[in-house]
Amino acid sequence: MADVVEIPAGERAYREIRRRIVSLELKPNQAIGEVFLADELRMSRTPIREALTRLSGEGLVDFRARAGTIVAPIRLEAVRTAQYVREKLELAIIEEAALTQSNRAIFNIRQTIEEQRFSIAEGDTVLFFSADERMHRCFSEMVGRGPVWTIISEAKRHMDRLRRLSLQDTDLNQLLIDHENILAAIEGGNVADARSVLKIHLGRVMEDIDRLSSQYKDYFSQSEHNDAEIAQ
């Protein structure tokens, strides 16, 4: 008997608000009152508050005590950190991947690549990036490091919003070619190639930062000295 599980309001709120933030439907620095969201999502303030609390922990929402809540600005420092973390971890993973021979994994990766090709033909950029995510996750999973992708993914949230901004002018075909080359290197067991192609590939994301951060100036944090606090 399949138990139909009712998704709790707090969970729904969390997912929906996060979706709106990373999709830029809610813009960085935009004020989001709790009553507004509660009204919008048809629930009381309590689950909304739970969702905002979680999002605040992830750095996507900033509380300003009794003065309002805002979508966190894109912090270039956080983007820079995410890029560093991602590069170090994913390079280590791709290295192991190239040393692993798994037909199953190769098949999965190829499938996401085909999906990317399709999404380019359709002009569906959102689908492209979701397939892209799946592919990178495959790399981690094929070497038994699935949870590492979760860590990368969390560190990457701020970067994801930046990526959204550059969606229009990104050359998706180039990214697709990168992906094919990475897959080829993995299949061929060519560690050096896998590393170098991936490194270049990951670097492309950072290329447009200067342009974007001046074009969408009010989406970014100005101070630059807002570090996430951490009590030992």
192 binds, among a second copy, DNA, none (CB under 5 to 8 A by kind): none
Which of 23, 31, 35, 146 is the binder for a second copy (CB under 8 A)?
146
- With 0-12 CB in 10 A as exposed, 13-18 as middle and 19+ as buried, what is 210? exposed
Give the separation between CA 137 and CA 220, rounded to whole angstroms: 28
Among 78, 165, 186, 205, binds a second copy (CB under 8 A): 78
Stretch that binds DNA, among 43-51, 122-130, 176-184, 210-218 (CB under 7 A): 43-51
Task: Examine residue 40 and tell whether it contacts DNA (CB under 7 A).
Answer: no
| From candidates 45, 54, 110, 204, binder to DNA by CB under 7 A | 45
**Per-residue exposure over 56-89, b if at least 16 CB sit within 10 Å of its own CB, e if not:** eebbbbbeeeeeebbbbbbbbebbebbbeebbeb
Provide the CB-side half-sphere exposure for 27 (13 A, CA).
Answer: 7
Residue 9 interacting entry, from DNA, a second copy, none, C-beta within 5 to 8 Å by type:
DNA
Question: What residue 54 binds from DNA, a second copy, none (CB within 5 to 8 A, per partner kind)?
Answer: a second copy
Which stretch, 58-66, 100-108, 176-184, 204-212, contacts DNA (CB under 7 A)? 58-66
Residues 28, 72: Cα–Cα separation, whole Å: 6
Q: Shortest distance, CB of residue 40 to DNA, whole angstroms? A: 13
Residue 157, H or E segment:
helix 157-165
Q: How far is the CB of 198 from a second copy (least distance, A)?
A: 14
Is 41 a binding residue for a second copy by CB under 8 A? The answer is no
Let me know: does 17 contact 55? Beta carbons within 8 Å: yes
Among positions 111, 125, 153, 166, the unique one binding a second copy when judged by CB under 8 A: 153
Q: Tell me which residues in 62-81 interact with DNA (CB under 7 A).
A: 63-69
3-state helix, strand, coil in the chain (%, to 5): 65, 5, 30
Of 25, 35, 88, 224, the residue at the interface with a second copy (CB under 8 A) is 88
Residues 6+ apart with CB under 8 A from 139: 90, 93, 94, 97, 109, 149
